[in-house]
């Protein structure tokens, strides 16, 4: 561990650049799937345990599409469209029925959905690890010490454009306003003529499309396996819990923060602890909040 | 309509009953010896489970068509009763019990993977049922003192220690070799690591990176960043096919230039197809190669077995070693039955433990612990065209790796 710290800050500080870049790329993907989770959680109070499986499913659809030599710029909107419809179907066949039930029903239902999706993906694409290699060039810097595959830059830019589009959509568009109104007070929204059932369906489908986009980035940057969804679910939950619901800038910065934190934990303590990093971060945030909220807490005498 | 439906139910009930009655009296009856196996036909091991099942079935067909098994002057045919364990150990253990208690199976073939074998071995041990397995390589299977468990394959600590041997041969001063290693923290990879560490200590080499990789591994860029900074002489990675796929992808992206790179599961991850540039010069261990110069009277040479198997299953472009070792396990049973000249479980068990034979798969001789100690692990290197060539000593190896990103 001491060796690693020395390596990072004394012997070869230039590798920090690589680690920071990797953290940013990772953070961008996390931020996307976490934002989708926050949306569904905030608007419908559904804690979607299948979030990571939606991401992986998006990845597999992009794998299927990439076999026709399509470019990522075609794959991304197609996957989002397909996943939007998938979300719509899942909402109407399942989520709709658990939305008014208590929390455990929705947790159980989405957990079941997660298992189902894993097994179906396993049946279709098999348990072996799959890779999409789009053969984009790789850039060097600092005498080859730092390498940046252009696909990661493209993914980052696309993710940026996408989140900007979502922010604008939520702020400016009529449906975006209706979603926010429903999140604040569904009853009032209904009184004012908003069809909340349609809004719920749209929100869930939008989340599914966002996950699909994250899945495309996962498939071109890392590897796909039917059972990998859980890691993305865990990270999304950590980010949303730390950042709070309905706070998009916080979700995005928490995404990047956790991405960087993971990479530094990996570099200093070891790659095996990378996945543990977001969970420990969550713990720290929760403990910190407990302490900082203490002064506001009052006992009834 | 309804009549048809009732007929269907009737037929299926009759079939089930028929199945039950024959099942109860399976084992050795008439002129058939029934071996039992719980194998993963669905779930995460489905692909390799199928390779294994095909290996068993191919051997059964070849042995039956060339005269079967001769015991006590009588000729018997072999047959295998399978259950699908769904790749879950608890189910595997249940099915093993069912095979033994309900179906009366007296001899078992192994399941796929070390984890499944670990779940099933206590059951077969409890009932004194000899089990020859072909797919569980974990060293920990052979430290439990099991008496009825035998494995034809090399155990996992031998997987990558050959790479260290090769590095030592290629270097003028083995103690100056600097090793970087990254292993997943699962039982299989930890076994592989133990073997590598033993070899490193033997030559007094220096370990400069020793990273553990997480189970759901899809990113090892931090480890590779360190590798680039510290420039080791050899990089060793083990983490099943996800480890090989991730390593190859990121070695390619980060242009990692280490003179020797060795990893398990290159073939399963298809690294030579996906990343031909980076994979050039990777060293990959394998249990068996079809160019091996070993043979036996039943299957012929390794390449004869390979041709025959491909003919039976034309869908394979290259045959996985999982099928070859599965065939070898069935062959061990044939030899043991004939040597024991009896179907008494303990006599057969002793005959298996005394087996000493050359097969198309390599030599087979079991230690007291039950693992095969006569067959080495083979190392192959990927060349610039994506072909795997056998590396028997350092002079067969392209060193340093000839790679241009």
CA distance A125 to chain B (A): 11
CA quadruple B308, B313, B318, B324: dihedral, nearest 10: -60
Q: How far apart are CA B226 and CA A7, in angstroms?
A: 8
Residue B45 sits at the chain A interface (C-beta within 8 Å): yes
Compare CB distances from A128 to B213, B221, B268 and report the shortest one's residue. Answer: B268
C-alpha distance from residue B11 to each of A181, B8, B29, B103 (Å): 60, 5, 26, 22
Compare CB distances from B255 to A138, A228, A273 and report the shortest one's residue. Answer: A138
Q: How far apart are CA B10 and CA B299, in angstroms?
A: 44
The answer for A 50-109 residues in CB contact with B (under 8 A) is none
ipTM: 0.82
Sign of CA dihedral A48, A52, A57, A62: positive
The residues, any chain, with a CB within 8 Å of residue A16's CB and separated by 6 or more, are: A8, A9
Q: Which of the residues B189, B218, B237, B256 would you substitute to probe the A interface, choosing the one with the greatest number of A C-beta atoms within 10 Å?
A: B218
Sign of CA dihedral B391, B394, B397, B401: positive
Q: What is the predicted pLDDT for the residue at B319?
A: 86
Q: Please indicate whether, in this complex, the C-beta atoms of B229 and A129 are within 8 angstroms of each other.
A: no
Q: Which of the residues A136, A147, A224 would you substitute to probe the B interface, choosing the one with the greatest number of B C-beta atoms within 10 Å?
A: A147
Contact status, residue B105 vs residue B81, Cβ threshold 8 Å? yes
CA distance A194 to chain B (A): 43
For residue B344, which phi and psi values (nearest 5 degrees)? -70, 130
Q: How many CB pairs under 8 A join A and B?
A: 107
- Burial class of B104 by CB neighbour count within 10 A (0 to 12, 13 to 18, 19+): middle
Listed as own residue / partner, the contacts of A187-195 with beta carbons closer than 8 Å and 24 or more positions apart are none
Q: What is the predicted pLDDT for the residue at A73?
A: 92
Q: How far apart are CA B149 and CA B129, in angstroms?
A: 9
Q: Which of the residues A15, A28, A59, A272 would you substitute to probe the B interface, choosing the one with the greatest number of B C-beta atoms within 10 Å?
A: A272
Q: How far apart are CA B232 and CA B123, in angstroms?
A: 46
Residue of A nearest to B275 (CA): A133
Ranges under pLDDT 70 in chain A: 246, 301
Compare CB distances from A147 to B44, B46, B255 and report the shortest one's residue. Answer: B255
Q: B362: which strand partners?
A: B359
Q: How far apart are CA B263 and CA B266, in angstroms?
A: 7
Q: How far apart are CA B71 and CA B159, in angstroms?
A: 37
Residue B337 sits at the chain A interface (C-beta within 8 Å): no
Residue B226 sits at the chain A interface (C-beta within 8 Å): yes
Residue A126 sits at the chain B interface (C-beta within 8 Å): yes
Q: Please indicate whether, in this complex, the C-beta atoms of B245 and A227 are within 8 angstroms of each other.
A: no
Compare CB distances from B269 to A12, A129, A274 and report the shortest one's residue. Answer: A129
The residues, any chain, with a CB within 8 Å of residue A233's CB and separated by 6 or more, are: A49, A50, A51, A52, A53, A114
Domain borders along chain B are: 16-154+291-365, 158-285+378-396
Tens-digit pLDDT string for chain B (405 aa):
455 555 555 555 454 444 444 433 347 778 899 999 999 998 878 888 999 999 999 999 999 999 999 998 899 999 999 999 998 999 999 999 999 999 999 999 999 988 899 999 999 999 999 999 999 998 889 999 999 999 999 998 899 999 999 999 998 899 999 999 999 988 888 889 999 999 999 999 999 999 988 887 888 988 999 998 889 999 999 988 888 999 999 999 888 989 999 999 888 888 888 888 889 999 999 999 988 889 999 999 999 999 999 999 998 888 889 999 999 999 999 999 999 999 999 999 999 999 999 999 999 999 999 999 999 899 999 988 888 888 888 888 888 888 777
Q: Please indicate whether, in this complex, the C-beta atoms of A231 and B218 are within 8 angstroms of each other.
A: yes
Q: How far apart are CA B269 and CA A225, in angstroms?
A: 12
Q: Which of the residues B44, B181, B186, B221 would you substitute to probe the A interface, choosing the one with the greatest number of A C-beta atoms within 10 Å?
A: B221
pLDDT 10s digits, A247-285: 778 888 889 999 999 999 988 888 888 888 888 888 888
Degrees (nearest 5) of the Cα angle B317, A62, A250?
140
Q: How far apart are CA B61 and CA B298, in angstroms?
A: 11
DSSP chain A: -HHHHHIIIII-TTHHHHHHHHHHHHHHHHHHHHHHHHHHHHHH----TTHHHHHHHHHHHHHHHHTTT--HHHHHHHHHHHHHHHHHHHIIIIIHHHTTS-HHHHHHHHHHHHHHHHHHHHHHH-SS-B-------EEEETTTTEEEEHHHHHHHHHHHHHHHHHHHHHHHSHHHHHHHHHHH-HHHHHHTT--HHHHHHHHHHHHHHHHHHHHHHHHHHS-B-TTTHHHHHHHHHHHHHHH-TT-HHHHHHHHHHHHHHHHHHHHHT-GGGTTHHHHHHHHHHHHHHHHHHGGG-----
C-alpha distance from residue B171 to each of A63, A194, B154, B176 (Å): 43, 75, 27, 8
Q: Please indicate whether, in this complex, the C-beta atoms of B218 and A144 are within 8 angstroms of each other.
A: no
User: Structural domains in chain A?
Assistant: 2-296 (1.10.3470)
- Burial class of B221 by CB neighbour count within 10 A (0 to 12, 13 to 18, 19+): buried
Residue A18 sits at the chain B interface (C-beta within 8 Å): yes
Q: How far apart are CA A222 and CA A215, in angstroms?
A: 10
Contact status, residue B122 vs residue B93, Cβ threshold 8 Å? yes
pLDDT 10s digits, A144-171: 788 888 889 999 999 999 989 998 998 9
| B185 contacts on A by Cβ (under 8 Å) | 272
Q: How far apart are CA B238 and CA B183, in angstroms?
A: 5
Instruction: For residue B243, give the nearest of A129, A133, A65 by alpha carbon.
Output: A129
Count CB neighbours of B277 within 10 A.
14
Identical topology for domains B16-154+291-365 and B158-285+378-396: yes
Q: Please indicate whether, in this complex, the C-beta atoms of A138 and B226 are within 8 angstroms of each other.
A: no
CA quadruple B381, B115, A224, B321: dihedral, nearest 10: 30
CATH of segment(s) B158-285+378-396: 3.40.50.2300
Q: What is the predicted pLDDT for the residue at B8?
A: 53
C-alpha distance from residue A230 to each of A42, A162, A205, A278, B215 (Å): 21, 24, 20, 13, 12
CA distance B184 to chain A (A): 8
CA quadruple A240, A245, A250, A254: dihedral, nearest 10: 0
CA distance A168 to chain B (A): 32
Q: What is the predicted pLDDT for the residue at B15?
A: 47
| B219 contacts on A by Cβ (under 8 Å) | 22, 26, 222, 274
Residue A214 sits at the chain B interface (C-beta within 8 Å): no
The residues, any chain, with a CB within 8 Å of residue A301's CB and separated by 6 or more, are: none
Q: Please indicate whether, in this complex, the C-beta atoms of B43 and A267 are within 8 angstroms of each other.
A: no
Contact status, residue A181 vs residue A42, Cβ threshold 8 Å? no
CATH topology of domain B16-154+291-365: Rossmann fold (3.40.50)
Compare CB distances from A266 to B46, B222, B241 and report the shortest one's residue. Answer: B222
The angle that helices A196-221 and A51-66 make with each other, rounded to 10 degrees, is 60
Instruction: For residue A15, give the nearest of B223, B369, B137, B318 by alpha carbon.
Output: B223
Q: How far apart are CA A92 and CA A215, in angstroms?
A: 23
Q: What is the predicted pLDDT for the residue at B19?
A: 45
Q: Please indicate whether, in this complex, the C-beta atoms of B213 and A128 are within 8 angstroms of each other.
A: no
| B253 contacts on A by Cβ (under 8 Å) | 138, 147, 149
CA distance B360 to chain A (A): 28
| B211 contacts on A by Cβ (under 8 Å) | 270-272
Residue A233 sits at the chain B interface (C-beta within 8 Å): no
Instruction: For residue B292, give the nearest of B264, B321, B257 by alpha carbon.
Output: B321
């Amino acid at each position: 561990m001491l060796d690693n710290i020395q390596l990072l800050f004394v012997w070869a500080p230039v590798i920090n650049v690589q680690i920071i870049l990797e953290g940013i790329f990772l953070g961008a993907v996390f931020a996307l799937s976490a934002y989708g989770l926050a949306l569904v959680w905030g608007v419908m109070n559904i804690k979607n345990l299948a979030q990571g499986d939606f991401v992986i499913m998006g990845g597999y659809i992009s794998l299927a599409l990439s076999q026709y030599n399509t470019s990522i710029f075609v794959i991304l909107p197609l996957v989002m469209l397909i996943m939007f419809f998938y979300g719509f179907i899942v909402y109407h066949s399942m989520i709709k029925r658990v939305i008014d039930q208590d929390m455990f029903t929705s947790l159980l239902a989405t957990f079941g959905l997660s298992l189902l999706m894993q097994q179906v993906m396993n049946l279709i694409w098999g348990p072996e690890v799959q890779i999409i290699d789009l053969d984009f060039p790789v850039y060097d810097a600092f005498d080859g010490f730092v390498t940046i595959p252009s696909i990661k830059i493209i993914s980052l830019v696309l993710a940026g454009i996408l989140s900007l589009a979502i922010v604008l959509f939520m702020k400016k568009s009529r449906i975006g306003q209706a979603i926010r109104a429903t999140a604040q007070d569904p009853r009032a929204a209904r009184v004012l003529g908003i069809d909340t059932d349609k809004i719920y369906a749209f929100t869930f489908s939008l989340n599914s499309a966002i996950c699909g986009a994250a899945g495309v980035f996962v498939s071109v940057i890392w590897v796909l396996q039917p059972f990998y969804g859980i890691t993305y679910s865990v990270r999304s939950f950590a980010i949303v819990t730390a950042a709070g619901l309905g706070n998009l800038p916080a979700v995005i910065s928490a995404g990047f923060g956790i991405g960087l934190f993971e990479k530094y934990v990996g570099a200093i303590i070891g790659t095996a602890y990378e996945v543990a990093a977001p969970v420990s971060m969550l713990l720290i945030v929760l403990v910190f909040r407990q302490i900082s909220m203490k002064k506001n807490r009052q006992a009834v005498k | 309509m309804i009549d048809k439906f009732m007929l269907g139910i009737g037929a299926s009930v009759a079939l089930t009953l028929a199945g039950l009655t024959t099942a109860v009296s399976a084992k050795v009856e008439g002129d058939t010896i029934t071996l039992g196996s719980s194998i993963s036909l669905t779930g995460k091991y489905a692909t390799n489970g199928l390779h294994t099942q095909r290996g068993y079935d191919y051997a059964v067909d070849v042995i039956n068509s060339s005269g079967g098994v001769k015991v006590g002057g009588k000729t018997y045919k072999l047959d295998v009763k399978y259950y699908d364990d769904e790749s879950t150990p608890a189910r595997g253990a249940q099915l093993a019990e069912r095979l033994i208690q309900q179906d009366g199976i007296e001899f078992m073939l192994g399941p796929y993977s070390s984890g499944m074998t670990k779940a099933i071995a206590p059951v077969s041990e409890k009932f004194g049922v000899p089990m020859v397995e072909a797919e569980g390589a974990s060293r920990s299977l052979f430290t439990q003192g099991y008496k009825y468990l035998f494995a034809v394959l090399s155990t996992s600590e031998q997987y990558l220690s050959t790479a260290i041997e090769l590095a030592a041969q290629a270097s003028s001063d083995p103690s100056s070799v600097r090793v970087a290693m990254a292993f997943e923290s699962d039982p299989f990879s930890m076994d592989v690591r133990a073997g590598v560490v033993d070899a490193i200590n033997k030559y007094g080499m220096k370990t400069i990176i020793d990273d553990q990789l997480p189970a759901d591994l899809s990113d090892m860029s931090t480890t590779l960043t360190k590798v680039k900074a510290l420039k080791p002489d050899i990089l060793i990675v083990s983490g099943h096919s996800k480890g090989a796929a991730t390593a190859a992808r990121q070695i390619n992206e980060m242009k990692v230039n280490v003179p020797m790179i060795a990893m398990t599961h290159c073939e399963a991850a298809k690294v030579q197809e996906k990343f031909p540039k980076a994979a050039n010069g990777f060293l990959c261990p394998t249990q068996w190669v079809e160019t091996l110069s070993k043979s036996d009277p039943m299957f012929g040479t390794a390449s004869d077995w390979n041709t025959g198997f491909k003919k039976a299953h034309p869908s394979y472009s290259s045959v996985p070693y999982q099928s070859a070792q599965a065939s070898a396990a069935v062959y061990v049973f044939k030899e043991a039955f004939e040597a024991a000249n009896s179907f008494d479980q303990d006599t057969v068990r002793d005959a298996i433990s005394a087996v000493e034979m050359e097969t198309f798969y390599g030599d087979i001789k079991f230690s007291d612990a039950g693992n095969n100690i006569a067959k080495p692990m083979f190392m192959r290197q990927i060349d610039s065209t994506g072909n795997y060539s056998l590396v028997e000593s350092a002079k067969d190896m392209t060193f340093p790796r000839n790679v241009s990103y």
